[in-house]
């Protein structure tokens, strides 16, 4: 029995020395795949969300080792009536005095409450054509209702500039992606602020990724009028000595 036990121990040790490396390799590969999946899912979520950004509303900033990406989320839009119809009727959007309603050309978007209407947004630094700016020196106004193809505002508003394409957008709320203290978090539903919040107060938040060892956000515009934009995203996640670093770019349209 002693001989059998000794021989069994020797065989087990020999077998273990052969299968140790394959098992360790499998565990390492599974860990890398998990980290890659977490980072890839987070970047895809950010990229998908950026497609709903109000033109010229993306802004990025850093506070120490924390990085923030913010934009205004659009739920819909349309074209406003700028001229009377052939009979001289129709509710036009007036840009010479404060107006509280106008007619939509084509299908009217739907609203659920709390949305804002924005016309010709040029973004931060372009006041008053800046939806982030404090009222009345901005280009957004709360919507009271949309019914029968007519948009009714919560109060009369004189929008600073008409849109060359006679377009308007409906903003639901601001959204922020924040890399701070080793986590990636999404904030939404907080109040619109002229200064970028770091981090936002109020609203809701959700955790997207943990074990974040590094991340960065950058935003650049191109073209003669900056009508195209590129958001560059870098996300690095580490665990148990392993690190996965992914880079992704999102193209955004800035035609207001």
pTM of the model: 0.88
Mean pLDDT taken over the chain: 90
Residue 24 has pLDDT above 80, yes or no: no
Of 31, 66, 26, 27, the closest CA to residue 239 belongs to 31
Lowest model confidence (mean pLDDT) among 141-155, 190-204, 214-228: 214-228
- Phi/psi at 72 (nearest 5 deg)? -100, 125
Q: Range with the lowest mean pLDDT among 119-123, 176-180, 251-255? A: 251-255
Average pLDDT of the segment spanning 210-214: 95
pLDDT digit string, tens, across residues 187-209: 999 999 999 999 999 999 999 99
Distance between CA atoms of residues 193 and 195, nearest Å: 5
> Which of 239, 251, 225 lies closest to 122 in space, CA to CA?
225
pLDDT score recorded for residue 25? 57
For 173-187, what is each residue's pLDDT tens digit? 999 999 999 999 999
- Strongest mean pLDDT among 150-164, 214-228, 230-244: 150-164
**What is the rounded distance in angstroms from the CA atom of residue 55 to the CA atom of residue 53?**
6
Residue 105: pLDDT over 50: yes
Alpha helices in the chain (DSSP H): 2-50
The phi and psi torsions of 176 (rounded to 5 degrees) equal -130, 135
CA 206 to chain centroid: 13
Distance CA 136, CA 34 (A): 49
pLDDT at site 8: 72
170 neighbors 143 (Cβ within 8 angstroms): yes
Determine the length of the chain: 256
Which range has the worst mean pLDDT, 16-25, 77-86, 234-243? 16-25
- pLDDT tens-digit map of 30-82: 667 888 899 999 999 999 999 999 999 999 999 999 999 999 999 999 999 99
- Residue 90 sits at φ, ψ, to 5 deg, of 100, 140
Cα 180 to Cα 209: distance, rounded to the nearest angstrom: 11
Burial of 224 (0-12, 13-18, 19+ CB in 10 A): exposed
């Amino acid at each position: 029995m002693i001989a059998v036990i000794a021989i069994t121990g020797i065989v087990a040790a020999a077998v273990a020395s052969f299968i140790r490396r394959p098992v360790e390799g499998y565990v390492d590969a599974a860990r890398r795949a998990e980290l890659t999946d977490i980072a890839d899912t987070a970047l895809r979520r950010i990229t998908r969300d950026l497609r709903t950004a109000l033109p010229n509303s993306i802004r990025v900033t850093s506070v120490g080792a924390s990085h923030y990406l913010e934009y205004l989320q659009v739920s819909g839009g349309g074209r406003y009536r700028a001229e009377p119809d052939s009979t001289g009727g129709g509710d036009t959007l007036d840009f010479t005095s404060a107006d509280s309603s106008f007619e939509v050309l084509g299908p009217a978007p739907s609203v659920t409450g709390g949305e804002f209407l924005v016309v010709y947004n040029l973004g931060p630094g372009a006041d008053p054509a800046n939806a982030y700016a404090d009222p009345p020196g901005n280009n957004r106004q709360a919507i009271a209702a949309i019914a029968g193809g007519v948009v009714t505002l919560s109060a009369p508003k004189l929008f600073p500039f008409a849109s060359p394409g006679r377009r308007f957008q409906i903003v639901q709320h601001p959204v922020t992606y924040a890399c701070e203290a080793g986590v990636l978090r999404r904030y939404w539903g907080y109040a619109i602020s002229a200064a970028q919040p770091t981090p936002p107060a109020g609203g809701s938040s959700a955790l997207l990724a943990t074990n974040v060892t590094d991340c960065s956000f950058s935003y650049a515009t191109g073209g003669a009028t900056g009508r195209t934009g590129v958001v560059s995203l870098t996300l690095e996640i580490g665990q148990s000595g392993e690190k996965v670093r992914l880079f992704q770019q999102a193209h955004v349209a800035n035609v207001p």
